[in-house]
Amino acid sequence: MNATLRRLLFLFLALVATGIVPVLRAQRERLPLEDLEVVEKRWPDAKRTATSLRYIVLKEGDTKGPSPTPGMMVATLYKGMLLNGTVFDQTQDPKAPFRTRIGRDNLIAGWEEALQKMHRGDKWLLIVPYELGYGTRGRPPSIPSRATLVFEMELVDFGPN
């Protein structure tokens, strides 16, 4: 290998190592095949993140405002369902939204990811692979093992307290 080629290779590797030039990685699909078929049929326009979380913006909120960051308290309204439509949990009363702090391991990973992308007033439909939900154990008796979850979630408010 000549000196010029070695320098270019070294420069490229240095840029990759520092993060200036990202390395493209194939992201594996986290939805089981049978769930993927249902999701693609019912929600063909759902956007997919690198973690395989899927979402549809049902209502835009304050898109010019900030999004919550770890440590902030969030208030949400939500309905949690299994892929077949069975509701397993919900908080729908605007006077008593579900409140929790993000970034403290209080929430499933799919919620953590989504909430940090949402804006005040946004309402999203989330499709959460089991790896970003309750995993291989589920949450018996209402959520079975390896369950793909669907949430209608609205970010009502957020802030430091």
List, by residue number, the catalytic residues: 78, 88-89, 108, 134, 151
Q: Which amino acid is at 51?
A: T
For residue 88, how many other CB atoms are within 10 A of its CB? Answer: 15
| Helix intervals (H) in the chain | 3-18, 33-42, 109-115
First to last CA, the chain: 60
* Chain centre to alpha carbon of residue 140: 22
**Helix, strand, coil distribution of the chain in percent, nearest 5:** 20, 30, 50
